C-alpha cells in the first residue's frame, strides 16, 4: 500500500481524505487478519479488498493532481531583487496583493536573504486591469501623444496585448471554474466513501443497532 505520509507533511491532503485513508487501512487490515486466521478469503471479500485498493489508488491520484497544480504555480520566473538588483530565475515562495490590489508573486533573494514582492500581476485578470490603467493614462494625454508616432505605435501594441489578455482571462476563469467543480465532485465522492466505510467499521465493532434505531 502506498504511503500518504509525504502528502500529509507537505499539506496536500484534506481532513476527509485523511480519514478515508485511515478507514481503508483499517478495513484492509481486518480482511488481512481474517485471511491469516482462515487461510483464505471468500471471493466477495477478495472483491471488497480490490475495491479498497482502488479507493486508495484514487486518493493517490487526487493528491498527485493537487500537488502538480501547486507546483505548476511555483515555476521559476526571471525577477529582479530590489536590493542587490541581481536578475535571475527564482521560484515564487508565495503570492500577495501589492498596493494596487494586484495579486503578485513573492520571491526570496538568496544573495541578500530578503523576501520581496514582484510588482507584475501573476494572473491574467489583474494583468488586464493593470494594462487598462496604462491605456487610461495614454487616453488622458491623447492629444499630445498622438503627435508622436512612437507613442501611437505603443498604444496600438498595448491594445493588441489587451485582446490577448482578455482571451487569457477567459481561459483562466474557465480553468478555475473547472478546477472548483472537480474539487467539489471529489469532496462529495470522498465524503461518501468515508461515511460508508465508517458505518461498516462501527457495525463491525458494535454490531447492528437494535431494530427501530437506524
Residue placing its CB nearer to Zn ion in the complex, 103 or 112: 112
Strand partners, 88: 79
Restricting to residues 68-97, name those near Zn ion by CB under 5 A.
81, 83-84
Number of residues that bind Zn ion (CB under 5 A): 6
In the complex, minimum distance from the CB of residue 116 to Zn ion, in angstroms, rounded to a whole number: 8
Instruction: Please identify, using beta-carbon distances, which residue of 111 and 148 lies nearer to Zn ion.
Output: 111
Q: Check binding of 109 to Zn ion (CB under 5 A).
A: yes
Cβ density class 157-177: b for 16+ within 10 Å, e for less: eeeeebeebeeebeebeeeee
84 or 179: whose CB is closer to Zn ion? 84
Cβ closer to Zn ion: 111 or 153? 111
Other residues' Cβ atoms within 10 Å of the Cβ of residue 204: 11
Q: How far apart are CA 141 and CA 114, in angstroms?
A: 39
In the block, cell 460508508 appears at: 196
Report DSSP letters for 10-43, one per residue: HT---HHHHHHHHHHHHHHHHHHHHHHHHSS--H
Among left, alpha and beta (phi > 0; psi -120 to 50; other), residue 53 is alpha
Give min distance, CB of 121 to Zn ion, in A: 22
Cell numbers found for residue 50? 480490490
- Which residue stretch of 5-13, 20-28, 103-111, 151-159 sits at the interface with Zn ion (rule: CB under 5 A)? 103-111
Provide, rounded to whole angstroms, the least separation between the CB of residue 84 and Zn ion: 3
* Residues within window 112-151 making contact with Zn ion, judged by CB under 5 A: 112
CB of 123 to Zn ion, least distance (A): 25
Q: Which is nearer to Zn ion, 47 or 89 (CB)?
A: 89
Contact flag: residue 63 with Zn ion (CB under 5 A):
no
C-alpha cell at 156: 496600438
For the CB of residue 47, give the shortest distance to Zn ion in the complex, in Å: 60
Q: Which residues bind Zn ion (CB under 5 A)?
A: 81, 83-84, 109, 111-112
Amino acid at each position: 500500500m502506498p504511503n500518504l505520509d509525504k502528502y500529509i507533511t507537505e499539506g496536500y491532503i484534506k481532513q476527509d481524505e485523511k480519514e478515508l485513508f485511515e478507514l481503508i487501512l483499517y478495513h484492509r487490515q481486518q480482511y488481512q487478519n481474517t485471511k491469516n486466521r482462515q487461510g483464505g478469503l471468500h471471493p466477495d471479500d477478495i472483491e471488497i479488498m480490490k475495491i479498497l485498493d482502488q479507493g486508495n489508488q484514487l486518493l493517490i491520484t487526487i493528491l498527485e493532481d493537487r500537488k502538480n497544480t501547486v507546483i505548476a504555480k511555483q515555476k521559476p520566473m526571471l525577477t529582479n531583487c530590489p536590493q542587490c538588483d541581481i536578475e535571475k530565475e527564482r521560484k515564487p515562495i508565495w503570492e500577495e496583493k501589492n498596493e494596487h490590489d494586484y495579486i503578485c508573486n513573492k520571491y526570496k533573494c538568496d544573495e541578500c536573504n530578503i523576501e520581496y514582492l514582484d510588482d507584475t500581476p501573476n494572473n491574467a485578470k489583474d494583468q488586464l486591469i493593470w494594462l487598462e490603467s496604462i491605456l487610461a493614462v495614454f487616453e488622458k494625454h491623447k492629444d499630445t501623444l498622438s503627435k508622436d508616432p512612437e507613442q501611437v505605435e505603443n498604444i496600438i501594441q498595448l491594445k493588441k496585448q489587451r485582446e490577448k489578455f482578455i482571451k487569457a482571462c477567459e481561459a483562466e476563469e474557465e480553468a478555475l471554474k473547472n478546477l472548483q467543480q472537480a474539487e467539489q465532485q471529489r469532496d462529495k465522492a470522498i465524503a461518501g466513501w468515508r461515511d460508508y466505510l465508517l458505518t461498516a467499521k462501527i457495525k463491525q465493532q458494535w454490531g447492528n443497532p437494535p431494530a427501530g434505531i437506524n
